[in-house]
Structure 1
Amino acid sequence: MKNCVAAIAVLFSSVGAIERAGAADLPPFDKVSADFQAVSVSDQQDRKGFFNVWERKKDAQLLAELPKNFASKSYFVALTLSSGDKYAGLQSGELVVKWRQYDNRLALIAPNLSIRATGDAESKASVKRLFTDQVLLDIPVLAKGPTGGPVIDLDSLLINNAGTFYGRSVRISNPRITSIESVKVFPSNVEVAVEIVGASGRFQTLHYSFSEVPSPSSGFKPRVADQRVGYFTTTYTDLSKYTDDETRVRYINRWNLQKRDSKLKLSPPKEPIIFYVEHTAPVRYRRWIKAGIDYWNKAFEKVGIVDAIEVRYQDAESGAHMEKDPEDIRYNFVRWLNNDVGTAIGPSRVHPMTGEILDADIILTDGWIRHFNFNYDDLMPRLAMEGVSPETLAWLSEHPSWDPRVRMTSPSKVAQVREQIAREARQPYAGYAMAAADSTLIGDDEYDGLIGHISQKNGMCMAAGARSLDLAIARMDWALALLDDKPKVDDEKEKDKEDAEKEDDESSDEKSKEEEKDDAEKDDSDKGDSSDDKTADSKDDASDDKKDDEKDDSDMLDGMPDWFVGPLLADLVAHEVGHTIGLRHNFKGSALYTLDEINSEEVKGKKTFTASVMDYTPINFRYESGDVQGDYGMIDIGPYDYWAIEYGYSFDDKKLPELLKRCVEPELQYATDEDTSGPDPLARRYDFAKDPLDYAEEQMRLVKLYRTRILDKFVKEGDTWAKARRGYELTLSLQTRAASMMANWVGGAFVNRDKKGDPGDRSPVQVVPAEQQRAAIQFVIDNTFNDAAFGLTPKLLERMTSERWLDGSGHFGSSGEATWPVHDRVLGLQSSALTWLMSPTTLRRVYDNEMRLPADADAVTLPELLDTISEAAWTEIEAECPDGRNNRQPMITSLRRNLQKEHTQRLIDLLLEKNNNTAAYKPITDLARMELVDLQKEIEERLKTCEKKMDAYSRAHLNETAMRIGQALQAGFTYNSGAGASGGRILILGETPAE
């Protein structure tokens, strides 16, 4: 025993000697810091900084001394890529870290915060042992500092490890060229900006903000999240609990807003949320930015806080607030980026334990205000893929001929797009963006170019995307967009309007009947303002100088009247502010009113036309719906937004259960990002009105009208004819968006987030009524299958060219080819429509919905859907034998032949599908076979009776189709009976082998 004690004593003595030797090995601080200058504290009231920093400017070196008690603290490292990127200024993420010393090295450690134990000591001990922290990096200790803390090479930490902090968004290409752009020391934080040479040799500025993770704020109590109202969450797993409801803990993210005087019904806050509008924001837009922020103060007043949010302007000319860095974690900024990208984003940083929001910034970009500049290959697939589920993405990766991303791109890019899809298919859920999202990375648009950034983008938000498309349409012809010359819609309606005017003002007898009629028509068309009916500029150059007195006091903001674009910007800002105060998207907000109600005196200027600014709402351009031109955009936050703020920020926890029971009210319906890929057609981005079919039909009326004006109105004297191509593709974008939106109704089911005991006892799943589904099917067919839906004429086509510039800046189309690829473009939309209606996901939903309804209830069935599509695709073979047809006027047009070939191939693909993942495939296969058998019989009968009267194109097309069907039916019996199921793919005549 004595020997053991002696051995242990020797061991501990040796360890102590090693530690003392290690400390002695460090050089003295004076030697290490030679030629360095201390960075003074930027606060005259407090001379002590968050930690000490020394700078040597000649070679861009930084030293830092951590506090002596560093090991007992947790720190925030807030990251911002502040220059050298299209999204420079956007929060690039944050890390919660701890430092731990190992002899003369320091390890930077990310503590495990996602799995905890809050109960008994045994659970805590087990969880701590099993779920350990993560070492991010380690660095040497250079010396012991003046206050006893370890000194580190700060510039080496920030530059050499930039990839660890920023991830894939930063790659240093030349480590020899670096500089310290700024370093500021404050009592509670340290701000360091370093310039590096990033990818492609471009300079980039990396901004690091260091601060201490604060102790849970006084008076702040975490609030549990509820699925009925949409907040971002701070989430963890509590393994000291043993029931499912308790194990997963979700707190909503919200600010610590408290009354200064709790006795007052309406009190100022102890600490308001202050937003600084960055000096880069154009002066002409600043008041509208402020207006959008101020909307939310009304909601906070409902819970007892007045002036909860304040707005201050940073201004370069006056110097106001110019000392504040937008990247500084202490300040909330609204930043403006001139990057020609149409987006807006509102990220925030939260306390990792409680969900308290500590810092928020809003990024606005100029792209949505600029004339919408897009590449067809980027825009059209994005519109066509809206709402696609992970199931469909996975299926499309194995069936690229069905994929809109493939079918809507130019032939030169097909291989590249297929390779990208194949790479994404190897990721979970075939690369579906939301599958990789968690409570700190919520993305809603896998096509927006921001996937891969590592920041907490609270609703990586593309609310500006659809709006920029709408503004581009508006700029095609302002008078048309604002309906300055709207034609008479209904003579009887006009007569009623005239009679009403006569009754209202009998003193107008001096006016002639003709003058009354002119006034009535003008009154019906000159509705342009969301607040006071100001009109837009006149419709042509000759009348541009004739402005009404009402318009003389309007400022033109980048070619648009302030009364038009200003409220749209305020609405966009309000949306992003909603994110920064914790709210997620609500894509059911737009389903509050019908289109006629939106364009009525009862709603216009008096109520918001959607339930929430957290929806993506297109601009309300009226053509025929309603009696008046309603508000173009939201004029306030909606009733859902008031309710959500009441849940998140009210002070009486006891009222919350009853407050949540209001979720059944029509204006409080909620669906968010992950719902957009589900079966609910109202959980949709960019739709509008209670019955979106009305909106879709209104959009198509406008599309048809715009197309008649492209050559005469949009392309002006002296313009390049490439504008005709651009204008047409803009209208094709609206057409695609409308058809895609309505396709979501097929096989759809409304999904409610109610809980048991909520009023009304609503079912959580309610099948979309059959008549609405049929109307949606017909809309998609009418606007994609038929030649007339595309409005193409020889005169238009011969002028749809492209600009010829070697610098590559003039590409409004998928390629530089001067002739617009007519058949490829039309088939791209037609093939996408067939994918929307015939994808296995849609067919499965239709099939499953049959079981959700009683047998005697009206329902859309699989046979009905497939029959409807077939009949619409093949109307020509049911008509009488053609008379007088020739190769220039064929029985079946070239666009229709392409559609029919595509439809046949889709049925063949479904027939040959060998998939055991879902029980719906067997009936789908059987019905596809039946459709092909019937189609083959009809074609063969048609050929027998009419072949000699047919043109060569139609005859060859029908003969080839009949042969392909015959081969497919024979192959189908072989393939699905087992032979070939594990072998190579069976090719049918005319089919292109899969790569």
Structure 2
Amino acid sequence: MLAAALLPAAVALSSFTVSAPAYAQSPDSSIGKKTAGMRHWDGFLPLDWDAKNGKLYLEVSDFDKEFLLLDQLPYGIGSNDLGLDRGQLGRGKVVHFYRSGNKILLIERNLMYRSSSQDPAERLDVEQSFARSVVWGFPVEAEENGKVLVDATGFFLRDPHGVGERLQQAKQGDYAIDPSRSVIVPEDTKNFPENTEVQAMITFAAHGHTGKLIDSVTPDAHAVTVEEHTSLIQLPDDHYKPRAFDIRAGYFPASWRDYSSPLGEPIDLNFIIRHRLEKKDPNAAISDPVKPIVYYVDRGAPEPIRSALVEGASWWNQAFEAAGFRNAFQVKVLPEGADPMDIRYNMIQWVHRSTRGWSYGEAVTDPRTGEIIKGQVTLGSLRARQDYMIAEALLSPYVQGKPVTPEMKEMVLQRIRQLAAHEVGHTLGLAHNFAASSIAPGTSVMDYPHPWVTLDANGRPDLSHAYPVGIGAWDKVAIAYGYSEFKPGSDEKAQLDHILRNATDHGLLFITDEDSRPLGSAHPHAHLWDNGADPADELNRILDVRAAALKRFGEEAIPVGEPMSELENTLVPLYLLHRYQTQAAAKEIGGLDYRYALRGDGQLITQIVSPEDQRKALDAVLKTLDPATLTLPESLLKILPPTPPGYDLSRSGNPEPFPGRTGLTFDPEGAVESAADLTLDLLFEPSRASRLVQYHDREPAEPSLDDVIESTLKATWYAPHQSGLAGLTQFTVEDAVLNHLLALAASSETEPQAAAQAGYEASKLSVWLKSQTENLNLDPDLKAAYSAAEQKIAAFDKNPSAFKASEALEAPPGQPIGDDDEDVAIF
């Protein structure tokens, strides 16, 4: 951490720029003469608009002053897969103008490498050691009284957001800007005392083939027109005091390297990103703020969504009150006529896409200090429709002659409130806390919540408490760390440490993305879309809820008049209801409990999950491979027809359909295979297998990899074979088990001893298969399956390095109920 004495010097670095030399003024090239008759916008950097020639001029007068350059995307492309959404922010750059002769350069300083020294020579040494970037060059058009006029049309008509590059990366075509179809948009170009806002309509022309994604969202994929917005922003003053980053506190860091750090002190410095918030009365326990943090909700969000967004985002005021501020966090509907691109407005935007996708929170920060200048939340509208469909699947609510239950709508609004709070949390500087849900429901809005579904007295799913209400205990801790103001003379470092130690003493913990998202991650408390302190108990419970809902599932899950094929849409989230709790339980197996511990802070450092908890989790996970869990009843299969013309099972608010191998017809074994693959990807993940070997060697009481493999084989291959649909499910699951077992043995990512054990278990299975096929009275279907498995193992034994597992049918991703994408960006 950075010593407090270094903070002012680090901030003062912003004043070190290159001054512009003086130039003689030519009366014939005065700005007044050049811009006569043009529309003039006064403001931070004055603008002049030549409507006749479609040119935009910029007046530059201060070559010593740095400012923030930011690109935004006010008009998106509308495809989540392309990641180019309305309201998306680009990366903020600290820049300044430099003049040489008749040319003005816009230069971005390299802020990753710095010197906090007060010695100009020492600071110059660091600056000269690393490259800068020239963003643009402008010819001088006129000058007058120390001001220079440049033609900035080309600068504003470039592609600062990288739209063309993104389309090419996504293999949607070879795109380039067409200048003949690109213009400045004067009606959306504005100027204010502290920021200049310019909007441009830019057309990207494709040469040759275009991709399916861009074809689906553009009238003519050979001419993709978007609007890009450029902001030139006055940087904050030097009165902001950065706060040290602590790995226990749950914030995103602003990081740079300080080559003037004393020997023995860290050279790589980290501070949290946060808004500036100051008390009017620093000595008061609770005070009004000098300036509150205000967020504005998109006027285009419909009711009752808009009110839910205001309510959910407003929850954060509870945390700021707990941190000693009165009315410090406010949420309002954007005033009519206000521009959401204006840097002065923290925004919560309601965005439409052609496909379902993630919501996210972004923040524009001052790269010099980590101070947040603007928070911007983007919420995808189709998320609400996906939640509604999950409720339809659970409740089967469309009973003829009865009104539709209001539970579905209320569940959606509960989720919208929670989602608004979650994404705003990112724009306050907060990272995910995926360990929160293992403590208690509602511990943090910064977790990913799975709906809390219970069964009522009649065995019917109940969604009345699907999502918690209000800010959580962890959220109050995080805001207290980041935003508390301490009385003058206080030891800030000690006070901050006390906040975090007190949280630990009360059982709160913080574990974020890097330790939670990977398939083989080990932390037993850090999961996405889970519930409960005991993952195995919760998996057993959610399997009971799933079974009860599936028992009731039928044509009443869709409205009267809808094609019966729409049942498959609704079935997907219900059939896979257990998928994320399975991930949570699987992390107990070969799991390692740990904290982001500092030396001397008294926290747990590491602890292998107990043998009892691992075996309990394994028993629960293996239930997800049971034919009783995965086999769909004949009564349901009879009412799942192929999709009729005009109905596309795509992500337009719906999950992808189950994969299959039966053509247009619904393939129940495709659903089985994709669900089984989700579980087996977890059980036979190489890093988990390798940990099982090591932990068993360290502690013989811990389950071994052999234990896990043998238990899986006992539950599948070695289990008595059933008949009918359940027997077909067994065949599908058994084949998937063998593929994963051999893949584990063949993987270069598997520890050698773990690979050897997997290969040995496959050999034992082969011996068993051979003994079964020698039975002359064996059922022909069993003999065929066992013989095929024997041959697969023999081929593996002959040349393990050449083994390639059969490509499994991939489960529908289920977004937005989670995959491994991010939902936050900091710029």
TM-score over 0.5 (shorter chain): yes
Structure 1 SS opposite 2:368: coil
Letter in 2 for 1:294: S
Deviation at 1:907, TM superposition (A): 3.7
1:824 aligns with 2:670: yes
Per-residue deviation, residues 90-118 of structure 1 (Å, max 9, x unmatched): 32332221222222122222111111122
Deviation at 1:195, TM superposition (A): 1.4
Q: In the alignment, which of 102, 115, 121 is matched to residue 113 of structure 2? A: 115
| Cα distance, 1:221–1:50 mapped onto 2, change above 3 Å | same
Residue of structure 2 equivalent to 1:36: 38
Letter in 1 for 2:157: I
Percent identity (aligned): 24
Q: Is the 8 A contact 1:26 1:142 kept in 2?
A: no
Residue of structure 2 equivalent to 1:85: 77
Structure 2 SS opposite 1:271: coil
Deviation at 1:663, TM superposition (A): 4.1
- Which structure 2 segments of 5+ residues have no match? 1-20, 79-84, 169-174, 206-220, 487-491, 809-827
Q: Which moved more, 1:114-123 or 1:177-186?
A: 114-123
Q: In the alignment, which of 354, 359, 378 is matched to residue 369 of structure 2? A: 354
Deviation at 1:81, TM superposition (A): 0.7
| Cα distance, 1:951–1:807 mapped onto 2, change above 3 Å | closer
Residue of structure 2 equivalent to 1:579: 426
1:178 aligns with 2:182: yes
1:651 aligns with 2:481: no
Deviation at 1:252, TM superposition (A): 0.9
Per-residue deviation, residues 112-146 of structure 1 (Å, max 9, x unmatched): 111112247465343222123222332322222x3
Residue of structure 2 equivalent to 1:898: 732
Q: Is the 8 A contact 1:123 1:239 kept in 2?
A: no
Letter in 1 for 2:511: A
1:813 aligns with 2:643: no
Residue of structure 1 equivalent to 2:294: 274
Which whole-Å CA distance do the structure 2 matches of 1:270 and 1:849 have between them? 55
| Cα distance, 1:828–1:31 mapped onto 2, change above 3 Å | same
Q: What CA RMSD, in Å, does the superposition of the two structures yield over aligned residues? A: 3.3
1:950 aligns with 2:778: yes
Deviation at 1:325, TM superposition (A): 0.9
Deviation at 1:783, TM superposition (A): 1.1
Q: In the alignment, which of 417, 438, 447 is matched to residue 615 of structure 1? A: 447
1:642 aligns with 2:644: no
Greater relative CO (CA pairs within 8 A, separation 6+): 2
Q: Is the 8 A contact 2:672 2:732 kept in 1?
A: no
Q: Is the 8 A contact 1:73 1:212 kept in 2?
A: no
Residue of structure 1 equivalent to 2:139: 140
Which whole-Å CA distance do the structure 1 matches of 2:498 and 2:704 have between them? 40
Deviation at 1:852, TM superposition (A): 5.0
| Cα distance, 1:968–1:763 mapped onto 2, change above 3 Å | same
| Cα distance, 1:711–1:807 mapped onto 2, change above 3 Å | closer
1:75 aligns with 2:81: no
Which whole-Å CA distance do the structure 2 matches of 1:194 and 1:845 have between them? 54
| Cα distance, 1:834–1:221 mapped onto 2, change above 3 Å | same
Per-residue deviation, residues 169-191 of structure 1 (Å, max 9, x unmatched): 79654321233322222222211
Structure 2 SS opposite 1:328: coil
Q: Which moved more, 1:226-235 or 1:568-577?
A: 568-577
1:339 aligns with 2:182: no
Deviation at 1:152, TM superposition (A): 1.5
Deviation at 1:637, TM superposition (A): 0.8
Residue of structure 1 equivalent to 2:203: 197
Residue of structure 2 equivalent to 1:533: none
Residue of structure 2 equivalent to 1:212: 234
Letter in 1 for 2:480: E
- Which structure 1 segments of 5+ residues have no match? 1-18, 42-48, 315-320, 373-467, 481-537, 548-555, 594-608, 973-984
Letter in 2 for 1:190: T
Q: Is the 8 A contact 1:234 1:252 kept in 2?
A: yes
| Cα distance, 1:806–1:867 mapped onto 2, change above 3 Å | same
Q: Is the 8 A contact 1:116 1:236 kept in 2?
A: yes
| Cα distance, 1:624–1:127 mapped onto 2, change above 3 Å | farther
Q: Higher helix proportion, which one?
A: 1
1:541 aligns with 2:403: no
Per-residue deviation, residues 771-795 of structure 1 (Å, max 9, x unmatched): 22222222222212x3221231333
Which whole-Å CA distance do the structure 1 matches of 2:251 and 2:390 have between them? 34
Q: In the alignment, which of 307, 310, 325 is matched to residue 305 of structure 1? A: 325
Structure 1 SS opposite 2:537: helix
Residue of structure 2 equivalent to 1:670: 510
Per-residue deviation, residues 508-537 of structure 1 (Å, max 9, x unmatched): xxxxxxxxxxxxxxxxxxxxxxxxxxxxxx
Deviation at 1:238, TM superposition (A): 1.2
Structure 1 SS opposite 2:157: helix
Which whole-Å CA distance do the structure 2 matches of 1:243 and 1:681 have between them? 39
1:939 aligns with 2:772: no
Q: Is the 8 A contact 1:591 1:610 kept in 2?
A: no
Q: Is the 8 A contact 2:343 2:374 kept in 1?
A: yes
Which whole-Å CA distance do the structure 2 matches of 1:810 and 1:133 have between them? 46
| Cα distance, 1:824–1:775 mapped onto 2, change above 3 Å | same
Q: Which has the larger Rg?
A: 1
Which whole-Å CA distance do the structure 1 matches of 2:782 and 2:347 have between them? 64
Q: In the alignment, which of 250, 253, 267 is matched to residue 247 of structure 1? A: 267
Residue of structure 2 equivalent to 1:129: 128
Deviation at 1:65, TM superposition (A): 0.9
Structure 1 SS opposite 2:282: coil
Which whole-Å CA distance do the structure 2 matches of 1:65 and 1:792 have between them? 70
Deviation at 1:245, TM superposition (A): 5.1
Which whole-Å CA distance do the structure 2 matches of 1:662 and 1:208 have between them? 44
Question: Which residues in structure 2 correspond to 1:803-882 (within 5 Å)?
Answer: 803-806=643-646, 808=648, 813=657, 817-853=663-699, 855=700, 858-876=701-719
Residue of structure 1 equivalent to 2:310: 290
Structure 2 SS opposite 1:267: coil
Q: Which moved more, 1:619-628 or 1:830-839?
A: 619-628
Letter in 1 for 2:114: R
Residue of structure 2 equivalent to 1:568: 415
Count of residues in correspondence between the two structures: 739
Deviation at 1:28, TM superposition (A): 4.8
Deviation at 1:831, TM superposition (A): 3.1
| Cα distance, 1:967–1:56 mapped onto 2, change above 3 Å | closer
Which whole-Å CA distance do the structure 2 matches of 1:166 and 1:78 have between them? 18
Structure 2 SS opposite 1:55: strand
Which whole-Å CA distance do the structure 1 matches of 2:468 and 2:431 have between them? 18
Structure 1 SS opposite 2:738: helix
Residue of structure 2 equivalent to 1:773: 614
Question: Which residues in structure 2 correspond to 1:429-578 (within 5 Å)?
Answer: 468=387, 471-476=388-393, 478=395, 540-544=399-403, 560-562=408-410, 564-578=411-425
Q: In the alignment, which of 493, 518, 524 is matched to residue 681 of structure 1? A: 524
Q: TM-score, normalised by structure 1?
A: 0.69
| Cα distance, 1:260–1:910 mapped onto 2, change above 3 Å | closer
Which whole-Å CA distance do the structure 2 matches of 1:934 and 1:75 have between them? 69
Which whole-Å CA distance do the structure 2 matches of 1:477 and 1:544 have between them? 17
Q: In the alignment, which of 31, 34, 50 is matched to residue 44 of structure 2? A: 50
Letter in 2 for 1:841: S
Letter in 2 for 1:175: P
Letter in 1 for 2:619: Q
Q: Is the 8 A contact 2:433 2:446 kept in 1?
A: yes
Deviation at 1:74, TM superposition (A): 1.0
Letter in 2 for 1:835: D
| Cα distance, 1:679–1:910 mapped onto 2, change above 3 Å | closer
Which whole-Å CA distance do the structure 2 matches of 1:648 and 1:331 have between them? 21
Which whole-Å CA distance do the structure 1 matches of 2:724 and 2:162 have between them? 65
| Cα distance, 1:352–1:539 mapped onto 2, change above 3 Å | same
Deviation at 1:749, TM superposition (A): 1.0
Letter in 2 for 1:206: E
Q: Is the 8 A contact 1:195 1:205 kept in 2?
A: yes
| Cα distance, 1:629–1:107 mapped onto 2, change above 3 Å | closer
Residue of structure 2 equivalent to 1:787: 627
Which whole-Å CA distance do the structure 2 matches of 1:833 and 1:719 have between them? 33
Q: Is the 8 A contact 1:704 1:791 kept in 2?
A: no
Q: TM-score, normalised by structure 2?
A: 0.82
Letter in 2 for 1:106: I
